[in-house]
Every structure is written in C-alpha cells, then in structure tokens.
Structure 1
Amino acid sequence: MSGPPVSDEELSAHLAEADVPALMMTLAHLTGDPSVLEPAALAPGWLFSEQGGLSAAQQEAAREVAFDQLTRLRSEGGWRWPDPPDFPLLREIAGWALGGDVDELLPLLAEEIIAPGADPRSPDWTAPRLAPEREFHVAVIGAGFSGLLAGYRLAQADIPFVIYESATELGGTWAHNTYPGCRTDVASHLYNYSFAPRSDWPEHFCRREVVQDYLREFAASTGVAGRIRFGTEVTELRWDEAEHEWRVQLREGGTARHHAVISAVGQLNRPHVPDIPGRDGFAGTSVHSARWEQGIDVAGKRVGVVGTGASAFQIVPEIAGTAAEVAVFQRHPPWLRPTPNYRSPIRDGARWLFENLPYYARWYRFWLFAPGLRGILEGWVVDPDHPPTERAVSGPNERLRASLSQYLRDQLAGEPELLDAVVPRYPVGAKRVLRDDGRWLTALRRDDVRLVTDPVERVEPRGIVAGGRRHDLDLIVYATGFQASGFLAPMRVLGRGGAEMPARDARAYLGIAMPEFPNLFCMYGPNTNLVGQGGSIVYFSECAAAHIIDAIRLLLTDGKRSMRVRREVHDRFNDRVDAGNRERAWGFSAVGGWYNENGRSATNWPFSALEYWRLTRRADPSDYEFL
C-alpha cells in the first residue's frame, strides 16, 4: 500500500501534533530498526507524563528523525503495512517503552499490535464442524459492549443465539446514562474492541453519544443487530436438570429454552438511590443520574447534586452557569488525576496520523495501555512495613498522595477552606480516582455553586437538610452510583438443586462461572473491574469472551451436555482474589463505597491485566465437571 498523497510541509505539520512516544515506536516498527528510538531516551516515570516527559528539544529531534525516515520510505515505494513485529523487534520496542524485562508481556502485546482486519482472539472452529448433529443455542442477556461482543463471537463460531435487551436501544450503560456531560473516562482509543478499532475518534475521551454510535455501527456491520430482541426483559433463569437447559422467563410473557446463557448485564446498570428520610416527599423533581429524563431543564433552577463520584464530576461543571445555583452534597471528595486533554478534541494532524500512518493507532493504543502494565497497580498495594494508614498504604502510595495533593493546592492557592474540603482523607486508590482537566474545582469556586460537606439528614418538600440547614431546591439529582455487587439482579436465578443466586456479594471463577449454575457464564462479572491495570473493561470483556467461547467448544466436544466449574477450583480462586483485595488500598481503607462493601470487594480485580489475560486465554477442562 503506497502512502497517502501529502506534501513535505503537510507531513511536518501532522507530525507536530503526534504523540512522540507512539510515533517513535511506530517508526521502529515500520523501519525494523529500533535504533531510531535513541533520540527519545525516556526518563523514569515517563509513562505518567505528557509526551513521555520528553523535553521540547527531544521532541523536536524525534520528529525530525520521523520526518526523515517517513519521507525516505515514501520515496522507496510508499508507506506499506509490514507484518506485525516479531518477538525480537517487539521486545526491543516494548523494552524501550516499559524498561526492564518485558518477555512475559510479549504474547499479550502480539495480540495488540496487529494488522488491519486481524482478530487473533476469534474462534478457530465452528459448531457445525465440531458437532454437526448437535442442536445448541445460546441466550445473551444485555446489548452493551459485552453482550454485542458475545454475540459476535458466537456468530463467528456459527452458534445460534439471541440477545435479550430490556431497553429499546443497544449500548448498555451508554444508552441508560444521558445526563449532561456524560462521557467515557477511558481514552477513546482504548475504549473499543481491539479487533474493530476506530481511527477517527473526535475527542480523546468521547461523549456517550459517540461511544453509542460506535456500538451501533459495530452491531450493524457484523449483523449482530439483527439478533437483538429489544424491549425484552429476562426476569428469571431456571436450570432444567433433566434437559440440561435453561428456562428463560420473559417479563413480556412466555418462556424460552436455551442450552447456555451468557449474562452481559454488567456491574453498573442498577441505580443506587440512598434511603434518605423524606426522600419521596420532595415537592420538586428528583432523578438519578442514570435515569436522566430528556425533558429536564436546569435553566434558572436551584439544583442539588447528591454525591461527588464520577457522574457528579461530569454533571456539575456542565450545568454550572445554566442553573440558578448548584448545591453539591459531598460525603467523601475524590482524588483527581490530572488529564489536561479530558474534554479536548483530537487535533486534525493527529487524526490524520491515526487514519493514514500504518500502525500508528496501534502503538498509540499501546502507549495508553502501558501505564497500567507497569506502575499504576503498584501504587495501590499495601505495604505492611510502611505501615499502612488512612493517609497512605505504602511509600509509592504516599508519593501519589503528595503529587495529587499538590495538584489540588496549585488550583486552590489562597482558598484554604475549599482546599481542606476537597483533599481526601483516605488513601489514593481506595475509591475511584477521577480524571480532571481543572473544570471540577473551577465549578466549585463559582459564586453560584456551593459545596456542602455536612451530612445529609433528610429531604423535605422544599429541599435537603444538611448540618441543620435547609437548602431550598427545585431539582435533586442523585449521582449516587449503582448497586454494583448485585450482578444479575433483578433477575432471579435458580441453578442445580434449586440453588439460588445471591442477591449481593456474588463470586465467580474468573468472574465467569459458578459451581451450582451449569452452562451459565458472566461477562464483567464479580471481581473483574479494572482499577488502573491498563486497557479497559472492553479489554477484559474480550478476555472473558475468549474463555467462554472456548468453554462452549469443550462442551460441544464428545457430546457433553452441561459443564460447571469445580467447587474447589472456584473457591481456591476466590480465596486468592479476596486475599489480594485485602492487600489493596480499597481493601485496607474504611472509607467504603462500591469498591468495598461491608469489608469485601465483590467488584475489583486486584492483580495485573496480564494475569487475567493468561487465565482466560483457554478454558482448562480440568477446571470443570462435564455431564
């Protein structure tokens, strides 16, 4: 493939908007020469710095090398898509980026740096070839990222399936959450399927409607959209032991039968509304952020926002200045991660490179992935010799606290009262760390916005009472999160011998399989929430889908009718996960929240992304019992 028509001046202008580390890794790949990386020697901590912490002179030198090499390649026949890097070249490039020994990461990275159209995790078998006489069909519950992916993988394996979606639109959380300012806090180039990347994202962290459009396009182009039954809610799953099938009860009436079920309802789908005295007696309008009604108009209204988590963090700056006043009711302030480009568009030159320079988008994705592969998780690990406290759980955690505290101080110089109110009194990582471009504290400093740190006592018809004072309101927004540990709720699930799925505090092997529930698989299930390990939940869903499809392959082999994870395998895995979570900031701290409910985390994955990838690559038949 020859390079796109572009003048030297245009190329130079495009390169000026490149992410230099991603550009240099791309260059090493295209030329096959890792020595081109030398002008951009990376300092310790580069993964957490803009442009890798490179000086302006280093960046300029790197761009000059890139210009020279790219114009040379163009003159020699154009820019071509070479093969993905072999392990020796991948080792050189990844070692430059990450430092140290990277051999254990190479197989994972080889699935990331792939040519257009490649899909290394796709099944290499089909049901008609494997079991030509076998009738086997699957129910997928939910049409968000995980459900659409499950459907696509089933289609690749030529397994009949249907996706039940209770809403009238696909997208999962991106269909439900329509509040002002809603956007992803995972970088756009990470927040897509690895085998179906989008190169023309308009923003570094896209708005919800853009993410939903991506899902619509994926579902339509793959044919998965035609397998979705919208407006169809599953109310009960009941295992038929005699027939080795699941009976799927639908709210709209009727029962369907399926040989296997994949639950893709996720963790963040059922709103949590706190049980505040008098809540139902409010005379104005009240709404949960995840059930925002499009007719709501905040203009000229007195708005109370309960909570300062991820949703409130996006809502408050969006409505401040339109509402007459905003009262923000805070229980625990969030730690903020500096992200200057959080609401920034991707500049034209960078978009040109994503769309035209071979492999640049892939290496940029790796650059976004890299901090989680090396460095972030280590900051949450409890060091018993530190010793851990509610200030910090380790030396690295203390350094994170110092850095993020300074970020807050820099924005609030001369405002000691507000600063005292927004510096968290718990370790970094004990609750979700939020990306920030400065707009949160800018909003809190407005004259028409007030931060209320007194505990909420009750709701009265005219407003919320906190600290003995009533705050008169026209609209209350409950930005109070989700019932994250109720994984399959409100469905009732009855397995072998009538065993009933617990309403909360669920456990599963790999977040996927449970002993008393044969042929039932979960995606984004218990203990699969990422907390800085790199990638995104989309990546973890790809890992889970690979395991589930391979498990179905085992099930179809030799006439097996049902499979369930062995109790000892399940329990051993969960004991290790629980022990790991106790040794993380969220497990140590008493601050609570959805990362840690009642002393246990049912949501978080405490280990590396590499470990989850390894564990889910294949389904080990010795982990399961078959009938």
Structure 2
Amino acid sequence: MNPSHSAAHSPTKVDDVYWRDDYSPIDASDEELARIVAGADLPSLLTALAAVTGDHALIPTHLRPPWPPVETTPKPQGGLSESAQAEARELALAGLKRVRDEQLTKPRALFPEEARAIVEFITGGAGEADAALMMHELDLVTDRPGAPRWRFEDVAPDRDFEVAVIGTGMSGIAAMYRLKQAGVPFVVFEKNPEVGGTWWANTYPGVRLDTPTFGYSFSFAQRADWRSAFAEGAEIEEYAVEIVDRAQLREHVEFDTEVVSMTWDEESSAWEVVVRRDGVEQVRRFHAVIAATGQLEKPNVPSFPGQDDFRGVQMHSARWNHDVDLSGKRVAVVGTGASAYQIVPSIVDDVAHLDVFQRSGPWTVPAPNYHDPTPEPVAWLCEHLPHYGQWFRFQAFWGARTGRLHTVKVDPEWDRTDSVSEVNLRVRETLTEIMRKQWAAKPEMLDIVVPDYPPGGKRMLRDNGVWAEALHQEHTRVVTAGIERFTPDGIVTADGEEHPVDVVIYATGFKASDYLDPIVVTGPSGKTLKEHWNGDATAWAGVAVPGFPNLFLIQGPNTNYVVNGQFHFMIECGVEFTTEAIHQLLRRAMAAVEVTQEALDRFVDWIDRGNAERAWGQPQVQTWYKNSHGRVSQVWPFSHLEYWELTRGADFDADFVLRPRQEGGLRARAS
C-alpha cells in the first residue's frame, strides 16, 4: 500500500479538541532540516512522515524499533542500532525535504488498513494483538473507537433522564466529554471555583508531572504545544481548562457546589443528591451519577500528640498556603514521596534550616531532562510536520502499555526481601549505584537514602540529581526517627530529640482508599457505601458496585498504575464503559443497571492474584496502595490490554442486572 498524497482523503469529523487542519509550511534549508533530524526521535519522525506523505518506503520493516524491555530507562531511539539510526536519518531528511518542497501542510486521514500498517512499524511489529486499542489512540484513523456511536435523542427521545457528574478533574472532564457526544443531559458539580481537580488544588513549589508530558493527555485532546518535558502543574491545569472551553463543557458545570450526600430512591429509580452552595443545601434528583472524585483528593494529615499546641504554621502539600513566606524559616517536611521530592529542592535555598522526616527513602529512576523544556527539534516538528506531535504522543503511549511491569513480577522461588526476582535485583543494583555516586561525599548516608524495599514496591520517582543535591546542603538534615509528639516550638522524635521548627509541611499524600469521602452514599438497602465496603473498597473494573444501581466510579478501586500504564487511557476506558452502560439502560427501556456480586467476586479474585504477584503486594512492603485490611485496593497489576478487554467486553446479560421501570416511577417527558 502506497497511496499518493494527492489521492488522500481528509477527516470530516475528528474526535480531538486540539485538531489542526493546517500546519506551518516548512521554509528551512537542507542544513537546518539536517539539524532538526539529528536531534529528533526517529521512530515517531519516520512514522509521521509516512503518514503525511503516504510513502511507506519511509518505514521499512528492517528499521522497525525493537523496543527492548525497559529496566530503568528506555533505550534511545527505540533501541535502534547506530547503523539503523544513520539510515533512518537519511530517510527522515529526504522525507522532510519532500514535505517542504511539496508544501504538505495538512494531516492525511488513514483508513484502518493503512493505519495498522503504520502502527506495525512504530510498535516494532508488536501492535497487531492490540490493534483495536491502538486505533483508539490515533486521531488520523477514520471511524476510530472511543466516541459513543449512539445518541440519546435516537435511543430515548421522550425519556426524562439526567446524569450528575461529581468533580471536574481529569475523570470528570472525560465523563463530560463523552456524555455530551452522546447527547445525554447532565449536570456537573464542582466544589472548587475552577476545573482541574488535583491540578487546581496542588500549587506547592515544584509541582509537576513525574511522567513525560506527551504521554499525559486524552485521546480526544492530543495537545502538541507542550512547553516542558515534564509539565509543571500550572501547565496541566491550563490543559484542563482548555479542554473544557474548547469542548464547550463549562455551561454544564455548577462551580463552588459541594455534593454532601446521595440516596437512592427505589420508587422513582433515581438518586436524590444533596448539594451545598454558599452554606445552603438543596436536593436534586438524577437518574444516574458518575463519581469522578479521583483517588488523590482527600489529604492525609497524620495525627500526633500536641499538634494543636504548635505555635508555628502547618499545611499539607495539597493545601499550600502561599501567604506563608519560608525565607529564613526552620522548616520540617514530613514524608519523602512524590510531593516531598518536588518541594524540598524547590525551597531548600530559601529556608534557614530544613528537616526532612523520612519513614523510607524513595526509589528514583534517572530523568536528566526532568526540569527541561520540550526539546527544540520536537517543538519545531510539532509546528511544521502535520500530526508529528500526535505520533510522538502515540509512541509514549505504546511504551507505557507494559512499561517496567516485568521488573516487578515476583519470582516465587526468590528468597530475598529487598527484591522480588533476578531482574528486580538488577534494577535495585543499577539504581543503588547511581545513588552511590550521588552520595560519594557522604557515603554514610547510603544506609538512609537507599530503600530497603524492592524497586517498584512504591511509585518510582524521576531523578535528575536535585533531590540528592538538596539533602547534601549543610542546613538540611534527614531525620529517620519517628515523630513522637509536637511541642509549641517544634517536633520531638522517638529518640527524644526536639527539632525546633517554624513551619511544618505534610507531604504525606492522600487517603486514597477512602473513595468518595466525605460524601455519604446510601443505596436501596439503606446501607451506606462506606458501611458496605467496611474499609475495603471494591468495584468491578473500578467502576460498578453491587447494590448501588446507576452509580459509576471513574478512577475507582484498583485502577491506578505504578510502573506501567497511562492515566488518561484508564480513565477513558472507565468512562466509555459507563456511557455504554447508560446506553444499554436507555436502549432496553430499563430503570437501573448494577453489576452482580458474582461478577465483582471474580474480578476481585483476579485482581488480588495479580497484585500478589507484584512487588507492591509483598508483605514486607508498606505502601498507601494497601488499605487498612492490608489488601492492595488502589493498583491495577496488568497492562493496558486487559483493562481495555474488560471494559469493552462487559456482558450486560450475564454480569449485570437491569431493572425494569416501575409504573408511576420515571415519567416520560411527554407526560
């Protein structure tokens, strides 16, 4: 297949709010183009060139990137050999010249057959098994999966049916977007004055992604003009706001409105939702509720004796007080997770003294570009080569599908507690050697900073050296003795030492297992969701809970990921299942849908077995992924494909109960 560009077709309807019909024409010299190619990512560049020109000679089979398994960091250029890279650069330069000389400034849509052929190249020939999943992520594919293929007005034009969405973080944005595409009436409640969820709430110094920026986006919002390799929080908040405005979703949102409780009314088969705004409560009625409150919403502030007597300032990283000037202050940072890892290097030069209270040190993987802008060749190609940014994003998505999952798989014969397999030990030794070099001037610190748990047991952070540099400073100290109590002027640790402190920053994460708290959700049995779970939250695919009809959780239990996966993809799968469940309910003229207990039990058994075979599921690993019962209730232990197949293959006849509408219950609009 080698279609000419002149015969190419253009998309008539593209499911992407960032879609561009035209790109800037190339007027660069051959020398300038050669410089761009020299600094470019070759697999995505060749793919983009083949897609826009239709010339598949630019993607020969022998130049497919092999994508060797990632242990710590990916191999450059997808693992292509030096000779393969040299050949690829020659092809890429010729392709860019053609784009320039023929003034190819428009993306060229791909029929599925050609799209699959191109995907086979960029995935190194491994994409066929995931073909449908891959098509979901490609803007250029005609009739790609994702958007609902039904409309409310066609399925249930006379039915009185409205959905409530709780929250406008990433999960809420996805829910809004798909509901609007389906034409389903909906209202969104957001307790904050703006969209963005955790990215609106978290404004602490240094806040940014710990995943590469191009991999952090929706399939329907493939932004390409990112400013940073790992975007700062403000840039992600900007992204959330842009999606809502570009998709015209803002009109559906009621801001500064908090959901207090929701109770299922059996007679009308609807949720009675109590919302509070400006101190006034109101009861609203909805036929389905999508809870998009996320896992990282409720701050976890540990409790210690004497906290109320402390005369200084206390704040959680997710509730940063920008009125507090840290200059010249004695500061304590409690925790060494992702937020602490970003805060400490950002404030260390301003404070007089910094105590970092550590329970266990973090594992980090090298990322020299962690604070760098988007590379200039990438930014140039995103502006001048049609759809290059989307192919660059697709490559990041493909690499994340399994990521480093193989490095955390437990070898049942392994007899060490600091690792779970031979490959996991190899990762440990590699990362430890990096730390050894970083701490060469203070080798006695290695026993403190090197974690004692297996790599991957907790979320691994990105490292460009600034954490070690901050902890090296003379006015910084790592405190490993546990906090015993507060005094009016500081903190006393278990070894009896008092640490004078002016400001305490809790970088202690979130109550991730307390889904939906503090909203009181009462089902038809009269039991609340919190009582039903009793501290052990479970939901089929993280979305559906038996006994709670027409309630859908997005990014619910067991949908987070650690060493593999893509955040937005998991959200989209959950949302697309939810829209299909609503479709089934409407198409069959039913009142309610809920998952069976048997289906949930099978799911939980499968998930628990998967997590038991991962580093984070081992008894020696203490992590927020585990709830008060010791069960891993946050993490998805498999790849993208399993979640895609689970949510796409839901059997509404076998695994769900669809309740008929009752006489005198839900009324048609015409009545």
| Unmatched 5+ stretches in structure 1 | none
5 Å-filtered alignment, 1:93-132, equals 93-94=119-120, 97-98=123-124, 101-115=126-140, 120-132=145-157
Instruction: Measure the CA separation in 1 of the matches of 2:636 and 2:207.
Output: 25
The residue number in structure 2 matching 1:19 is 41
2:596 partner letter: R
Residue 297, structure 1, aligned to residue 325, structure 2:
yes
Q: Which residue of 2 aligns with 1:474?
A: 502
Partner of 2:18: none
Pair 1:399 & 2:426 matched: yes
Residues 339 and 436, structure 1, Cα contact 8 Å, conserved in 2: yes
Which 10-residue stretch deviates more, 367-376 or 112-121? 112-121
Q: Which amino acid aligns with 1:575?
A: D
Maintained 8 Å contact 1:202/1:345:
yes
| Partner Cα separation in structure 2 for residue 577 and residue 79 of structure 1 | 47
Task: Give 1:409 deviation, angstroms.
Answer: 1.6
**Partner AA of 2:355 in structure 1:** A
Amino acid at match of 2:168: A
User: 1:543: which partner in 2?
Assistant: 573
Alignment partner, residue 435 of structure 2: 408
**What residue in structure 2 maps to residue 149 of structure 1?**
174
Of 589-598 and 327-336, the range deviating more from structure 2 = 589-598
- Structure 1 residue 116: deviation in Å? 9.0
**Contact 1:430 1:589 survives alignment (8 Å):** no
d(CA) in 2 for partners of 1:371, 1:149? 23
Residue in structure 1 matched with residue 230 of structure 2 by the alignment? 205
- Match in the other structure for 1:620: 651
In structure 1, the residue matched to 2:95 is: 69
8 Å contact kept, 2:47–2:59 = no
2:26–2:103 CA contact under 8 A, matched in 1: no
Partner of 2:185: 160
Aligned mate of 1:485, from 506, 509, 513: 513
Instruction: Find the residue that maps to 2:591 and give its secondary structure.
Output: coil
- Judge conservation of contact 1:164–1:234 (CA < 8 Å) in 2: yes
Q: CA deviation at 1:61?
A: 4.3
Q: For 2:601, which of 568, 571, 578 is the aligned residue?
A: 571
1:241 positional shift: 0.6
TM-aligned CA distance change 1:492 to 1:67, over 3 Å: same
CA deviation after TM superposition for structure 1 residue 96, in Å: 6.2
Measured in 1, the distance between the counterparts of 2:186 and 2:217 equals 23
**Quick one: which of 365, 369, 385 aligns to 2:397?**
369
Where do 1:341-360 residues align within 5 Å? Answer: 341-360=369-388
CA 1:116 to 1:356, structure 2 compared with 1: closer, same or farther past 3 Å?
farther
> What's 1:452 paired with?
479
Tell me which amino acid in the other structure corresponds to 1:378. Answer: H
Shift of 1:376: 1.1
Instruction: Select the residue among 20, 25, 33 that pairs with 2:57.
Output: 33
Q: Which residue of 525, 539, 547 corresponds with 2:556?
A: 525
Please, which of 336, 348, 357 is the counterpart of residue 320 of structure 1? 348
Name the CA shift for 1:61/1:545 in 2 (closer, same or farther; >3 Å): same
Hey, what's the Cα distance between the residues in 2 that align with 1:262 and 1:439? 40
When normalised by structure 2's length, the TM-score is 0.89
Decide whether aligned partners of structure 1 residues 119 and 151 sit closer, same or farther in structure 2, where only a CA change above 3 A counts.
Answer: farther
Kept in 2: contact 1:426–1:589 (CA 8 A) = no
Question: What is the alpha-carbon distance in structure 1 between the residues aligned to residue 326 and residue 148 of structure 2?
Answer: 49
The question of whether the paired residues in 1 share the 8 Å contact of 2:64 and 2:122 is answered with no
| Separation in 1, partners of 2:437, 2:85 | 27
Which residue is 1:244 aligned to?
Answer: 269
Shift in alpha-carbon separation, 1:351–1:235, aligned structure 2, 3 A: same
| Cα distance in structure 2, aligned partners of 1:566 and 1:131 | 25
Letter paired with 1:506? A
Q: Distance in 1 between matches of 2:266 and 2:338?
A: 43
1:562 is paired with a residue whose SS is: strand
Secondary structure at the counterpart of residue 621 of structure 1: coil
User: Deviation of residue 53 (structure 1)?
Assistant: 4.8
8 Å contact kept, 1:427–1:589: no
Quote the residue 2:544 is aligned against. Answer: 513
CA RMSD of aligned residues (A): 2.2
Contact preservation (8 Å) 2:25, 2:103: no
**Conserved 8 A contact 1:32-1:89:** no
Q: CA deviation at 1:498?
A: 0.8
Alpha-carbon distance in 1 for matches of 2:403, 2:176: 34
Q: CA deviation at 1:377?
A: 1.0
Query: Which residue is 2:665 aligned to?
Result: none
The structural deviation recorded for 1:589 is 3.8
Which aligned pairs between 1:376-395 and structure 2 lie closer than 5 A? Answer: 376-387=404-415, 389-395=416-422
Residues 585-624 of structure 1: pairs in structure 2 closer than 5 A: 585-597=615-627, 598-617=629-648, 619-622=650-653, 623-624=655-656
TM-score (norm 1): 0.95
Question: How much has 1:527 moved relative to structure 2?
Answer: 0.4
Aligned length: 624
User: What is the CA–CA distance in structure 1 between the aligned matches of 2:41 and 2:619, rounded to whole Å?
Assistant: 37
2:34 equivalent to 1:4: no
Deviations 1:376-410 (A, max 9, x none): 111111110234x3211112211211221122122
Structural mapping, 1:275-286, within 5 Å: 275-286=303-314
Task: Determine whether 1:215 maps to 2:219.
Answer: no
- Tell me whether 465-474 or 231-240 shows the greater mean CA deviation: 465-474
